[in-house]
A and B are shown apart, each in its own frame.
Chain A
Amino acid sequence: MPQTATKAALRVRQLRKTYKDVVAVDDLDLEVRPGECFGLLGPNGAGKTTTIEICEGLTAADSGEVEVLGLHWPADAAALRQRLGIQLQETQLSEKLTVIETIQLFRSFFHQGPEPIEVIGLVQLEEKAKSRVGNLSGGQKQRLALACALVGDPDFLFLDEPTTGLDPQARRQLWELIEQFKLSGRTILLTTHYMDEAERLCERVAIMDHGKMIALGTPRELIASVCAEHLVEFSAGTRAHPLDLAAVSAIDGIREVQHENGSVRMQVTELHRAVPALLAELGRQSVPLTELRTHSATLEDVFVTLTGRHLRDE
């Protein structure tokens, strides 16, 4: 883990949390630098939400140390709560209140922060200010939830799966809002299982699986460290003419061959050499090629390489 001269905005040491017989968080170490957007990635059940809720002071850890903005739970709770902006997964705000009434309520809990109408402007809900929450779309509700996290002018923003369940346009809109908030130099910790979201928003990401951190770095570093530059996926062969996978794996410049659900996935460094060689080999085996895809590596590929599973599985 790279060391920083400045004090960390969030420092987690040997964090552990068990629910009955499930270890949700297993000896986790984490450090978020001031002003960065840090992403916790991982499939459902990886321990992301438990980790973020312990950092928010909503869940007590079994053991380990958590320091947020140099303060600790529960001793400094009153001071900390004034400085944190929190968005939880699946909170349903009261449907009978209007947007402005909801913001006024949340604003009343904080000593300082912008006027309610300003916050509504920040999340672009001005036209909906007097609408009931029950009449908002999914994306608008999510922006209102973000506004509720922003009312106290927080130094540190926690976002737990902020765009889950939204349509692509609403997600893009929310990303733009989060990017604006980043420009004002405040720290963000967000969890997501969308790789594109992490690649776009986060300076650094940690990939979690089964309560442990299995990779940490900038999105570029992670892709470079685990993957070759290109990935090739193809399906070939029939029941009568099965593919001889060993011969394919033996081709020069092809690595990490994985066979999954009838499709083969592999890493190659030089696309222009590997693909003709692959096609020649299939021709030699005379098995039909039904599908062929190539793409540059993403965080999704990092995850699949590390765990052998896709993020959205299960």
Chain B
Amino acid sequence: MNRNNHPLFQLTLVRFREFVREPEALFWVFIFPILLAAGLGIAFRNRPAEVLQIAAVTPQLAAPLRAEKLLDVRELSSAEAGQALRNGKVALVAEPGANGAVVYRFDDTNPEGRSARMLADRALQRAAGRQDPIAATDALMREPGSRYIDFLIPGLLGMNLMGSAIWGMGFAIVDARRKKLMKRLVATPMPRPYYLLSFALSRLLLLVLEVGVVLGFGAWVFQVPVRGSLVGLALLCVLSSMCFCALALLVASRARTTEAASGMMNVVMMPMWICSGVFFSAQRFPSLMQPLIKALPLTAVIDALRAMMLQGSGLAQLAPQVAVLSAWLVACFWLALKLFRWQ
């Protein structure tokens, strides 16, 4: 048999053609992550330390506070200052207390309030003659790898790996079942494993483009580093994508309508979007939840990607994440084959 006529080749080609001829899919897989990275990268770009707005009730307090360059001091009446604090126009109000003391009014859950408290107090104490016992100087570090965009790009990459595998494969399978196309294929001598394998193969081919686009964009526009080996990164991406393919196969194993499948995909992906640390660190969740969060495949993918890209870890150091992904891959694939409905 001619190689071009091999059923696996033809099935994979069909997958590829269907993907390329779907403009929406191209947008979600290639354009959307770039727009998201660009938007967030601009919104959270590193800026010089911000000047904080504060209010002082008396000129005696305002004068020494103005010596601090990081504070913008406004002199307001007590009532006006309280109003401004409530509206968030100022982060702190300094008022005279009894016997020459000072009272700071601020919201201690607001990080700006806490910073303003420290800066204001330092300025007033120094103006009153305080000497710091230890001499301190600041050495500023603003290098690639420690910015928000460096944190974000591996997160987006992981999210993209998950979304494209689950949506791309899940919808295609359920749609073929709904249209009875799958039943028609099963009525031919097509070897059934080839059908499933064609999805995995086309996914791997598209993976090269998907990962390349996101990493290339990050490196070119924001100089996001890749410190680990590219081979390790490629292997990690392949493992991640196959893991999500198995998950997609499981989600799509029985659904007969795209509506039902869509609901199930959201149920599966929503906890990971929220908990797996795409946009902010998963460490922020209570420690009770941490073992659960660590067991999610997307958490493992993103943790491993960050370690590899930003800290230069190798696959060997990422054994826990690789183990989590392999376990999901094997379990989902096995269960999906048990449950899969071919008609």
A residues touching B (Cβ–Cβ < 8 Å)? 56-58, 78, 81-82, 84, 86, 88, 90-94, 96-97, 101, 104-111, 148, 152
A111 partner residues in chain B, CB cutoff 8 A:
1, 189
The 7 closest A-B pairs by CB, nearest first: A92-B179, A81-B189, A108-B10, A96-B21, A109-B188, A91-B184, A86-B187
Q: What per-residue 1/0 map shows which CB atoms of B17-31 lie under 8 Å from chain A? A: 110011000000000
B125 to chain A, nearest CB (A): 72
Q: Cβ of B179 and Cβ of A91 under 8 Å apart?
A: yes
In the bound complex, how far is the Cα of B1 from the Cα of A109, in angstroms?
Answer: 11
Given contacts A56-B187, A105-B11, A107-B5, contact A91 B18 (CB under 8 A): no
* Cβ 8 A contact of A58, one of B1, B9, B179, B187: B187
B331 to chain A, nearest CB (A): 28
B337 partner residues in chain A, CB cutoff 8 A:
none
Given contacts A81-B189, A97-B18, A101-B14, contact A88 B184 (CB under 8 A): yes
B13 partner residues in chain A, CB cutoff 8 A:
101, 105
Residue of A nearest to B194 (CB): A109
B17 partner residues in chain A, CB cutoff 8 A:
96-97, 101
Q: Cβ of A109 and Cβ of B14 under 8 Å apart?
A: no
In the bound complex, how far is the Cα of B142 from the Cα of A114, in angstroms?
Answer: 67
* Cβ 8 A contact of B180, one of A84, A88, A110: A88
A56 partner residues in chain B, CB cutoff 8 A:
187
Given contacts A91-B183, A107-B5, A108-B7, contact A97 B14 (CB under 8 A): yes
Q: What per-residue 1/0 map shows which CB atoms of B172-196 lie under 8 Å from chain A? A: 0000000111011011111000000
11 contacts between A and B (CB under 8 A): A78-B189, A84-B187, A92-B179, A93-B181, A93-B184, A94-B18, A97-B14, A101-B13, A101-B17, A109-B189, A110-B188
Quick check: is B343 within 8 A (CB to CB) of the other chain? yes
Q: What per-residue 1/0 map shows which CB atoms of B204-227 lie under 8 Å from chain A? A: 000000000000000000000000
* Cβ 8 A contact of B188, one of A94, A96, A97, A106: A106
Quick check: is B338 within 8 A (CB to CB) of the other chain? no
Residue picked from B9, B17, B188, B190, most chain A C-beta under 10 Å:
B188
In the bound complex, how far is the Cα of B188 from the Cα of A110, in angstroms?
Answer: 8
Given contacts A108-B6, A108-B9, contact A92 B183 (CB under 8 A): no
How many residues does chain B have at the interface if contact means C-beta atoms less than 8 Å apart? 24
Q: Cβ of B183 and Cβ of A109 under 8 Å apart?
A: no
Q: Cβ of A90 and Cβ of B6 under 8 Å apart?
A: no
Q: Cβ of B22 and Cβ of A105 under 8 Å apart?
A: no
Q: Cβ of A88 and Cβ of B14 under 8 Å apart?
A: no
A276 to chain B, nearest CB (A): 55
Residue picked from B1, B11, B187, most chain A C-beta under 10 Å:
B187
B14 partner residues in chain A, CB cutoff 8 A:
94, 97, 101, 105
- Interface SS of chain A: loop
B residues touching A (Cβ–Cβ < 8 Å)? 1, 5-7, 9-11, 13-14, 17-18, 21-22, 179-181, 183-184, 186-190, 343
Residue of A nearest to B6 (CB): A108
Given contacts A91-B179, A92-B181, A93-B181, contact A81 B18 (CB under 8 A): no
In the bound complex, how far is the Cα of B113 from the Cα of A287, in angstroms?
Answer: 102
Q: Cβ of B187 and Cβ of A88 under 8 Å apart?
A: yes
In the bound complex, how far is the Cα of B181 from the Cα of A104, in angstroms?
Answer: 15
A115 to chain B, nearest CB (A): 10
A94 partner residues in chain B, CB cutoff 8 A:
14, 18, 181
In the bound complex, how far is the Cα of B181 from the Cα of A148, in angstroms?
Answer: 12
In the bound complex, how far is the Cα of B343 from the Cα of A90, in angstroms?
Answer: 13
In the bound complex, how far is the Cα of B183 from the Cα of A57, in angstroms?
Answer: 11
B16 to chain A, nearest CB (A): 11
> 4 extra interchain contacts, Cβ-Cβ under 8 A, other than A81-B189, A107-B5, A108-B5?
A86-B184, A86-B188, A101-B17, A109-B188
Residue of B nearest to A84 (CB): B187
B190 partner residues in chain A, CB cutoff 8 A:
109
A106 partner residues in chain B, CB cutoff 8 A:
188
In the bound complex, how far is the Cα of B189 from the Cα of A86, in angstroms?
Answer: 11
B189 partner residues in chain A, CB cutoff 8 A:
78, 81-82, 109-111, 152
Residue of A nearest to B190 (CB): A109
A84 partner residues in chain B, CB cutoff 8 A:
187
In the bound complex, how far is the Cα of B5 from the Cα of A306, in angstroms?
Answer: 51
B99 to chain A, nearest CB (A): 82
In the bound complex, how far is the Cα of B1 from the Cα of A299, in angstroms?
Answer: 47
B183 partner residues in chain A, CB cutoff 8 A:
58, 88, 91
B192 to chain A, nearest CB (A): 11
Given contacts A92-B179, A92-B181, A96-B17, contact A109 B186 (CB under 8 A): no
Residue of B nearest to A158 (CB): B187
B10 partner residues in chain A, CB cutoff 8 A:
104-105, 108
Residue of B nearest to A134 (CB): B21
In the bound complex, how far is the Cα of B218 from the Cα of A58, in angstroms?
Answer: 50
In the bound complex, how far is the Cα of B188 from the Cα of A111, in angstroms?
Answer: 11
In the bound complex, how far is the Cα of B18 from the Cα of A279, in angstroms?
Answer: 67
B73 to chain A, nearest CB (A): 65
B7 partner residues in chain A, CB cutoff 8 A:
108-109
In the bound complex, how far is the Cα of B1 from the Cα of A93, in angstroms?
Answer: 25
A57 partner residues in chain B, CB cutoff 8 A:
187
Residue picked from B13, B21, B179, B184, most chain A C-beta under 10 Å:
B184
A122 to chain B, nearest CB (A): 18
A104 partner residues in chain B, CB cutoff 8 A:
5, 10
B82 to chain A, nearest CB (A): 65
Q: Cβ of B11 and Cβ of A81 under 8 Å apart?
A: no
In the bound complex, how far is the Cα of B179 from the Cα of A33, in angstroms?
Answer: 33
B11 partner residues in chain A, CB cutoff 8 A:
105, 108
In the bound complex, how far is the Cα of B21 from the Cα of A108, in angstroms?
Answer: 22
